[in-house]
Amino acid sequence: MMEDMSIDRSLDKALDIYAALITGQDISRSNPDTREMYEEYYSNSAVYDIVTRLLKKLNLSVYEYEESIYITAGEGNRIFGYTNDDMKRILGLRINKELYMVYFIMYNTLLSFYQDSASYQVKEYVRLEDIMKQVSDYLSVITNDISVYAMDEISEESFKALALLWDELPAVTSEDKDKNRASRASRTGYIKLALNFLISQKLFVEVEGRYYPTNRFKAVVENYFEEYRGKIYKVLGGGEDA
């Protein structure tokens, strides 16, 4: 009887932790509201096993950073992640080329902090103009190749397509004077689309034009991004379906 009660208690605690995580809460030892769940997760092996098995079954990855627990959808997760169509709807985009431009900007934003596993967190924050320069630098080699412009057909998800789109865009427009406005009319607008989405996912906070990565960002990037960082090259290079 006592064993059954212990199993029931562990299951209840595990479900509390699971429910908190999938509803977007961060479970942290420093937060009085979630400290008990954090302690249960790491001190009770039964609770830990139940939570990790549930997350694995649902293709969710769990990461820890500075005594806090975070989850993110695994690759191809159609329930808790976003499809390309979902992202186009959320961002107000029409075609895949525009979406891949935003993805590429997000990727470069991450690279601003994590060039490789030996250089984690090399800066405190990033500015919009820093991201613009990095994207331009990455694409400049492609746009400098005059043969790109002579091509009749270019896959809309290729680096060449992104380079051409970026080259056609003005750096700013009159609409960009509103710091919260994002659009497809300029390079600045595309960067704002990417940054606004990252902020909505609690990966960044913005303070007076400076974009600071959150602990959630650090937990996800130092694990998930490091594991999947090469995928964008395969997708944009035409070697893999998105």
Q: Are residues 7 and 106 in the same domain?
A: no
Q: Give residue 204's pLDDT.
A: 94
Which positions ≥6 away from 31 have C-beta within 8 Å? 68
Which tokens belong to 31?
């937060």
Per the domain annotation, does 241 fall within a domain? no
Q: Give residue 81's pLDDT.
A: 79
Q: Are residues 205 and 98 in the same domain?
A: yes
Q: Give residue 143's pLDDT.
A: 65
Task: Confirm if 139 and 119 have CB atoms less than 8 A apart.
Answer: no
Q: Could you say which residues of the chain have pLDDT below 50?
A: 1-3, 117, 235-242
Measured between alpha carbons, how far is 80 from 223 in angstroms, rounded to an integer?
Answer: 18
Q: Give residue 2's pLDDT.
A: 44
Q: Give residue 220's pLDDT.
A: 80
Per the domain annotation, does 12 fall within a domain? yes
Q: Are residues 220 and 101 in the same domain?
A: yes
Domain region containing 31 = 2-73
Domain count, the chain: 2
Q: Are residues 103 and 170 in the same domain?
A: yes
Which tokens belong to 109?
């934003």
Q: How far from 136 is each of 16, 92, 103, 108, 131, CA to CA, in Å?
A: 46, 23, 14, 10, 8
Per the domain annotation, does 79 fall within a domain? no
* Whole-structure pTM value: 0.79
Per the domain annotation, does 32 fall within a domain? yes
Q: Are residues 118 and 162 in the same domain?
A: yes
Nearest alpha-carbon partner for 15 in 46, 69, 32: 46
Q: Are residues 52 and 93 in the same domain?
A: no
Q: Give residue 167's pLDDT.
A: 87
Q: Give residue 238's pLDDT.
A: 44
Q: Are residues 134 and 182 in the same domain?
A: yes
Q: Are residues 115 and 54 in the same domain?
A: no
Q: Are residues 49 and 98 in the same domain?
A: no
Q: Give residue 145's pLDDT.
A: 62
